[in-house]
Structure 1
C-alpha cells in the first residue's frame, strides 16, 4: 500500500584558461596526449582509472548542445532493448545483475539437501519452487481463488461489501480504498492509520477520460482483456462483465485526485476522528471496515484525499450491488493472475506489459521467480547478498562521501543570498539530523511466522500479505522502528523518507557506474555523490522542505524565504515544461518538480563536495580529462537509458521523475561550473541566460 516516501532515484579549471575553449572539448573526445612524468607519477600513486566509459560517447554531438547525447549517444544508438524488458540503461542493467546474483543465491539454497522445515532456507527454496512448478499451477487452475470468489458471491449488502474491501486488502487484493500504517507526518513520534485512493486497473485517472486515439485504444484493449480473462477463468457473461468493470472503474477514477495533487504533502494530510467519518462518507460502513482490518480501536485516521472518499461514497450508493460484485470478482482474478495458470499469466502480460508498456516477450520464468522471492523474502536473501556483493570498505568509503556531502550542503546553505539567517539555522539543523543508511539494515526482518509451501504459490502470497498486515498493526502504539528499510539490499535504487529524515542507499546501487571502487573521486562524486546529494535534496525539495529535522511537517520558513523558494521552484517548473519527450508530449514540470530539485541540488552539492575534497590541490588529469570534466561526465553516464515508447509515455503521465536525458540536461544547464568546464556560450542549445538559471540550494 501507499508509503509516504519522497524520492527515489538519480570555478576555474585546474589546467588553465585554455581548457575553457573548444580545444578542451577535443581533449575529451580524444584523450590521447602523452602524460607528463608528474601525471604518470600521480597515476601510479593513485592506481585509479577515470571511470569514464568512452565507448559510449557520440563525438558528432557538441557537448554544449546536448551533453547527454555526447556522453551516451553511441550507447543509445547501439543498444537494443531486450525483448523481455521495456528499458535498458545504467539502473536497469544493474537490476539485471542483481537478479542474476540473487538467482545464484536461491539456486544454491535450493540445491541444499534436507533443509530444516520452517527455516529461512526452506522458505526461500520452496517459495521459488512453488512459482517454477508450472505443472502444478496449471493443474490447480482457478481453484486457489475459489474461496475468495465465494466470499464475493456471498455479499448481501453494501455494508458487507465495504467490510469485504478490508478483508481483500489483508489477503493481498485491490479495493477502492487502500489502508496503510505509517508515521504521522505531523507527529513523527507515533504511527497513524491512513487511507489512500485506490481501485484502478489503468495507470492513472486520465487513462479513463482522455479522448486521444492512444487512450481510446487502451480502453478498448482493456475491455477485451477483461473479457478474455473472464473466459479463461470460466466466468459467466464475460463481455457484459468487462464493460461493467470499465464503467465502474471510470466512476471511481472520476473521484481520484490527479498525480500532481497526490504528491502534495499538505493537501494529503487530513486527520479525522473515526467517530466523525460518517460525516465525510455516511454510506460507507466504517465500523465493519475498520473491524475487518483489525484497526477498530483507533481514535483517529488520516484521510489522504477526503473528496475522493466523499465521491466514492456516492459511487457506492449509486452503483448496484451486483455490479460491485462483478468488479470485486475482477479484482480477485487480476490480482491473482500471475499466481495461477500459464494461460492467465500470459493474458495478464499481454495487456499490462505488452499493450501498456510495449514489452515484447515475458521475462523468463526464473526472473519472475526471483522477483517473487525478493518481494516476499527479500531480507532473507539480502543477508546472503551483502556477504558476497558488498565489501566493508565500500561502506566506509560511502560513509565518507555522505559526510562530505553533508558538509558541502551546510556550506551551500550558509552561502545562500536569498535565505534569512533564521531559516538557515532551521535548515542546517535538519541537515545535521539526516540519518544515513548504507548497504543493509542493522536489524533484519523476521519471517518465522510465515509458512511457505512448495505446492501453493497463491497461498504463499496470501499468507505473506496477512503477515505483513499483522506486523503493520503491531506498530500502532509502539515506538518508531527506525531500523526498518523500505528497500532490500539487492535493490538498485535509493530513497529519502521525510518522516524519519533518513537517506537510504541499498548495497546494489553501490556499483559502477554509480560507485566505482577503482575510479578516482571525480567520477564517484559525479555518480554516487550526486545520488547522495539527490536524496539529501529531497529533504529540501518542494515537499521535503515542509518537514523539520525530527520528521514533523511544520512551517520552519519565514514568509519571505518561502516566497523566494517558491519562485525558484516555479522557474524550474517552466524550464522542464519546455522539454519535449515526443512531438506531442512534454515533461510535466509540476509533477516532476521534487525530483528535478533533487537532481539539481544533488549534482550542485556533489560538485561542491568534490572541489572541497581536493583541499585546494589540483585534481590529476586521468585519461586526458580534468577532474571537472570527469565529474560532469560521471554524472551524465549514470542516466543513460533507452525505453520503449509506450513505457516512456506511461512514465511521463505517472512518474514524478523526468525522463533520463532531462535529468542530466536540466540540472547541468543551471550550473555555472558546467558552462566553464565545457565552454557553453550564448547560442549553444544548453545555454540559459545567467539571470534565468535556477539555483535553489
Structure 2
C-alpha cells in the first residue's frame, strides 16, 4: 500500500474535458496524484486475467500505518504550541475535536495530557537508563513467584508431583501471575455474554502459549531452536556466569538478585530448567484446540456453574481466584462461560493423574514453577534492555518472523504509546489529520450509509433465503450501528477532561519505563475486572483513532471505522469515488458482511447468540461455505527452506466471506451512485494519462488495499494463526468469485481469474 497525505475537503473534485480526444478527464491535484500512484503500482505488462495480484502490485510501498507512525512521532517530539499551531493551519475547525483553543477552559488539561504522553514516550526512548538496568527490573516479580512456591518446602524437589493438596499453591501462583498481566495455564476474559449481550460475563479458556500456535510444538527442529534460544536468553537474564554482559550490568544483576532473594543459575541449571519447561509447554499445547476449532461461537458458549467448574476442574480453587480480583463478594457470578471444556478436562486429568501405585504422576511442582518463571521473563522482556530484546528477536526470527533486526526504537516507543494511551494520542492525531465533526466525520458516515443501504437492498435478491429468514436478516442489517473516526464517550476523544479522567490511575515516572509499564498493566487489569457485574459499555471502542483498521462487533451489532484508515489510499473525498469505493468502500462492505459470515450469522440484530435461520437456509449457507473452504484450501504459500503450506480455508472462512461480500456490496453501491446527477460525471472521469476505466480502477484500488511484502516465516505463522487469508489470496480468491471483475477485465471463462466454478453466498 502507498501511504499518501490525506487532505479531506467538502468540495468534490472538478472535471474538465480534454478537447483533443473528447475524453472526460479529472484534472484536480487529487486526480493527478492518484494517477501517479496508479503508474507506480500497476504492472501494465502483466495479464490481469492470469494473476491480478501481480498486475495490481509492483514493488514495495510505505504503508499508511508507517505514515501514521511518523505523524504521531512528530507530535510527541514537538511542543504543544507547535501542535496547536499546525492543527489550526491544517483544520480551521480543529476545535470540534480538540476543544482546546486559547479561550477554552480545557486547554490547561489538554496541555497536561500532552506532557504526560511525552513523559511516557521519553521514558521509553531513554535506552541509556533502560540498558543500564539489564534484566533486573523483572527480578521482584520472579521473587514473588518463588516466595509463593516456597510456602511448600518440597517445591524444589523434581520428584514432588502436583496433587490436590497443592491446589491453593497453584491458585496463589496464578493470582500472582495475573497481577502482573501474565496468563499461564488458563485464560480469563471479561466480555459481553453471548446470550445476554448487554451483560458482561467471565469467560475461561485455554491460554496463549509462547510459540505462535499448536503446530510449532509438533516440529522437532522448531522446538530445538526454541530451546536453544531460551537457554541463551535466560543465561543473560538470570545466569550467574554470563561473560557477555558488561561488568556494571553483571554486578547490578548480582546485587539486585541478592536484594530480591533470588538465586542466579548456572548454565547447566538453566539448560535443565528449559528442558523441563519446554516439555511442559509442549504437553500443554497438545491438549489445546487448534485455531480453526475456536471459530464457532455456539461451541464456545458453555455456561457452567461455579460449583460444577470447581468439581470438574479441581486443580485450582476457582472461588479464591475470583475473590482475588472481585473485591465485592456479592458480584462473584454463579455461572462462568467455559469456552474450551475439553482443554480443562484434559488439564485436570493431567495435573491430578495418579499412577498404579496411587501416587501423583502428572507434573512436578518444580517444572510448574520454572515454566511460570519463564512466562514472567518472556512477557516482560519487551520492556527490558536492548541486548535482551535483541537476543529474543534473533530466536523469534528463526522460528516465526524472519526479521532479525529490532525495530527502530522510535517506532517501538510510538507503538507503545498507541498501545497504552491509544485514545489520548488519538485525540492529537485527530487534531492533525481529521477535519472535525461537521466537515468529515459526518461525510464518512454518509459514505458508510450508502454501502449499508445497498447491503439492505441486496437481501431482496438473495433467492435462497426464505421469507422469515430474509425478514430477520433485514431487521438485523437495519440495526447495525456506525462508529466513525473516534469514540465520543468512554472516553470522549474530543474532550481533554474525559481523557484525563480515563487514564488518571496510570502514574507516569519520567525516568522509569518499566515502572510505567507496570502502572499501565495494573490499570488495565483492574479496569477489565471492574466490568464484572456491570452492563456492557456500548460506547467503548475496541480500536484506537489512529489504527489503520476497522471492525464489526457481533455482540453490539456495529461497525467501527477509525480515523487512521480514513485517508489515502483508502479514502480521499477529493478523488474520484471509484477509488474510494474500491478501497474503503470494500473495507466497509467487508465489515458489514461480518454480520452474516460463518460466525456473525449466529447472532441476531440485538447481538444475541441466537439461531434465527430456518433449517433449509442454514443448510444452503453451510453448503456454499464449504465451497469457499475448498477454494481457499487449495491456495499455497511458500515458507522458508522451500517449505510449502496450504491456506486453512476453515480458519479463514469468516474473513473470506467478508472479503467476497464486501467487494460485491461496494461495487453495487458504486454503480448505484451513477444515477446521482451531482456525482455521475465524477464517476466516469478518467485519471489523467491512465488508460483504465473507472470500473477497472475500482478493482485495482481494491487490490492495492492488500498489497504487502511478507517474509516466508511470517507467512507460515499467518497460515497457522491468522483468521485472514494471506494478502495475495485475499485479492485472488475474491476476484475469482466476482462476475463483475470478469466482465470489467473481459477475462475469458476458464482463465485463472475467471474459473467456471465460483463460490457465492452474499
Q: Is 1:455 aligned to 2:540, yes or no?
A: no
Aligned 8 A contact 1:167 1:292 in 2: no
Specify the SS of the correspondent of 1:302: strand
Pick aligned residue for 1:543 from 599, 602, 613: 599
1:635 matched to which residue of 2? 702
How far apart in 1 are the matches of 2:536 and 2:701?
Answer: 38
1:305 matched to which residue of 2? 340
Offset, 1:34: 6.3
Specify the SS of the correspondent of 1:417: coil
Q: Is 1:678 aligned to 2:678, yes or no?
A: no
Alignment of structure 1 residues 91-240 onto 2, 5 Å: 93-108=63-78, 119-154=112-147, 155=149, 156=152, 157-209=166-218, 215-233=219-237, 234=239, 235-236=264-265, 237-240=269-272
Report the number of matched residues.
641
Measured at CA, do residues 419 and 684 of structure 1 come closer, stay the same or move farther in structure 2, by a change above 3 Å? same
Indicate the larger mover: 296-305 or 422-431: 296-305
Q: Is 1:611 aligned to 2:596, yes or no?
A: no
How far apart in 2 are the matches of 1:676 and 1:203?
Answer: 41
Q: Is 1:43 aligned to 2:26, yes or no?
A: yes
Measured at CA, do residues 71 and 142 of structure 1 come closer, stay the same or move farther in structure 2, by a change above 3 Å? closer
How far apart in 1 are the matches of 2:64 and 2:397?
Answer: 21
2:648 matched to which residue of 1? 588
- Unaligned runs of 5+ residues in structure 2 are 1-16, 83-107, 153-165, 240-263, 353-361, 492-498
Offset, 1:135: 2.4
Deviation per residue, 1:315-358 (Å, 9 max, x gap): 43311111100001101111111212222121122122454211
Alignment of structure 1 residues 535-574 onto 2, 5 Å: 535-574=591-630
2:290 matched to which residue of 1? 258
Deviation per residue, 1:21-54 (Å, 9 max, x gap): xxxxxxxxxxxx96667644x7369985566612
How far apart in 2 are the matches of 1:448 and 1:44?
Answer: 50
Specify the SS of the correspondent of 1:566: helix
Alignment of structure 1 residues 265-344 onto 2, 5 Å: 265-294=297-326, 297-317=332-352, 318-344=362-388
Aligned 8 A contact 1:498 1:539 in 2: yes
TM-score by length of 2: 0.80
Specify the SS of the correspondent of 2:78: helix
Pick aligned residue for 1:413 from 451, 459, 478: 459
Q: Is 1:429 aligned to 2:475, yes or no?
A: yes
Pick aligned residue for 2:657 from 571, 575, 597: 597
Q: Which has the higher contact order (CA 8 A, sep 6+)?
A: 1
How far apart in 1 are the matches of 2:204 and 2:513?
Answer: 29
Deviation per residue, 1:98-140 (Å, 9 max, x gap): 111111111125999xx99994234312212222222222333
1:25 matched to which residue of 2? none
How far apart in 2 are the matches of 1:35 and 1:196?
Answer: 67
1:579 matched to which residue of 2? 635
Offset, 1:478: 2.2
Deviation per residue, 1:485-536 (Å, 9 max, x gap): 1111111111111001111111111112211233111111010000000001
Aligned 8 A contact 1:172 1:461 in 2: no
Q: Is 1:693 aligned to 2:758, yes or no?
A: yes
How far apart in 2 are the matches of 1:610 and 1:38?
Answer: 24
How far apart in 1 are the matches of 2:408 and 2:624?
Answer: 46
Offset, 1:223: 0.6
Specify the SS of the correspondent of 1:436: strand
Offset, 1:449: 1.1
How far apart in 1 are the matches of 2:298 and 2:43?
Answer: 45
How far apart in 1 are the matches of 2:221 and 2:407?
Answer: 25
Measured at CA, do residues 401 and 285 of structure 1 come closer, stay the same or move farther in structure 2, by a change above 3 Å? same
How far apart in 2 are the matches of 1:342 and 1:54?
Answer: 41
Indicate the larger mover: 286-295 or 297-306: 286-295
- Unaligned runs of 5+ residues in structure 1 are 1-32, 80-88, 210-214
Deviation per residue, 1:242-264 (Å, 9 max, x gap): 11111110111011000101121
Aligned 8 A contact 1:498 1:547 in 2: yes
Offset, 1:217: 2.4
1:647 matched to which residue of 2? 714
2:102 matched to which residue of 1? none
Measured at CA, do residues 679 and 540 of structure 1 come closer, stay the same or move farther in structure 2, by a change above 3 Å? same
Measured at CA, do residues 43 and 232 of structure 1 come closer, stay the same or move farther in structure 2, by a change above 3 Å? closer
Deviation per residue, 1:155-188 (Å, 9 max, x gap): 2344222232133123222312111111101111
How far apart in 2 are the matches of 1:228 and 1:122?
Answer: 39
Deviation per residue, 1:643-691 (Å, 9 max, x gap): 11111111111111111111111111111111111111124111221xx
Specify the SS of the correspondent of 2:336: strand
Specify the SS of the correspondent of 1:374: helix
How far apart in 2 are the matches of 1:36 and 1:268?
Answer: 65
Larger Rg: 2
Offset, 1:416: 0.6
